[in-house]
Amino acid sequence: MGTVTIGVSIAVPEPHGSRLQQLRAGFGDAAAHGIPTHVTLLPPTEVDDAGLPAVEAHLGEVAAAGRPFPMRLSGTGTFRPLSPVVFVRVVEGDEACTWLQKRVRDDSGPVARELQFPYHPHVTVAHGIEEAAMDRAFEELADYEAEWPCTGFALYEQGADGVWRKLRDFAFGSTVVPPQSGQVDRGSVSAH
């Protein structure tokens, strides 16, 4: 019996996902093309591959209890100096993400785990690269805006090549999406 490394996340949909992934690669983050643009609900976690059906069943229950919600990204933030990360901020949908990640990691489930840092929903756009490039990412995406209706999340597996691949989507139990907060120029980036 082997182990696999899994993660659970909300994918940033097109055209936003590809745009942020291209920008991340442009800042010099070599991992950019192996990591779909996302908001993490469960960070990389090693599990027995025989336990994947139990993980999928658990995620199905979490999704069935979830409801669609508006997601909105706006501006940048950083975890520096604690962690070498620059991110785009989740400014709407953060409470729903926090609720979901708690359910995914619940002590009664198959992927119960403690986090290294307190949960903070975000979209990474630079990780572990040189400081000047981190500063550039922070500045160039300071005016970034995107929004979409979040209707579910997905289970991913990290391959031996380091690339994350989707195993399965999990749709929320309701199809009603609350209205978006306001009019936003979707996917815009300032020209600094």
SS3 content of the chain, % helix, strand, coil (to 5): 25, 35, 40
For residue 189, CA distances in Å to 32, 136, 141, 167 come to: 18, 13, 6, 31
Q: pTM of the predicted model, to two decimals? A: 0.87
Q: What is the mean pLDDT of each run of 10 residues along the chain (192 residues)?
A: 93 96 95 94 95 96 95 96 93 96 94 90 96 96 97 96 95 65 40 35
- Biggest CA pair distance of the chain: 52
Task: Check residue 182 and give its pLDDT.
Answer: 45
d(CA 143, CA 73): 10
Contacts of 50 (CB under 8 A, 6+ apart): 1
Phi, psi of 164 (to 5 degrees): -90, 130
